[in-house]
Amino acid sequence: MLESYVPIFVMIAGGITFGVVMVKLNEWLGPHRPTEEKLTTYESGMEPVRSARERFSVKFYMVAMLFILFDIEVVFLYPWAVSFKQLGLGGFVTMAVFIAILFVGYLYVWRKGALEWD
């Protein structure tokens, strides 16, 4: 039974080996001309004006997590829309319940003020 996993282990070992070899080749053969400008922080073409250790408000993270949450939930609508006719009434009711739960969650977050950006 263990012999059936040998091709998987070989593929994983090959992938790891390839990755390590490519990183080392880059280190050995790549150019080594660091300058002060190359070593500075680059963010959207703008010079950094504050420390990277600055604290962000918890609201920032809450809005980011909520965006990801609701954005990922919308991804589930695409397969449903593609196979809408094959699913019939049962698929429609299931998705209606899903959207209702999502909407209740959205209302809850809105009422709690998590979407307010002060």
Residue 117 domain flag: no
pLDDT exceeds 90 at position 6 = yes
Radius of gyration of the chain (CA): 25
The CATH code of the domain that includes 15 is: 1.20.58
- The proportion of the chain whose per-residue pLDDT surpasses 90, expressed as a percent, equals 32
Q: Render pLDDT for 31-42 as a digit per residue (tens, 0 to 9).
A: 888 888 777 776
**Taking the complete model, does pTM exceed 0.75, yes or no?**
no
Considering only residues 45 and 8, tell me which one the structure prediction assigns the higher pLDDT. Answer: 8
pLDDT digits (tens, 9 = 90+) for 60-92: 788 888 888 888 888 888 888 899 889 899 999
How many structural domains comprise the chain? Answer: 1
- Which segments of 1-118 does DSSP mark as H helices, in order? 6-29, 36-39, 58-75, 77-82, 84-112
Answer whether residue 118 is part of any domain.
no
Range of the structural domain that residue 57 is part of = 2-112
Q: Give residue 80's pLDDT.
A: 87
Six-digit token string for 71: 């954005």
Q: Are residues 87 and 80 in contact, defined by beta-carbon separation less than 8 angstroms?
A: yes
Nearest Cα neighbor of 115 from 75, 55, 54, 65 is: 65
Which three-class secondary structure state does DSSP give residue 48? coil
* Tokens found for residue 74: 């919308």
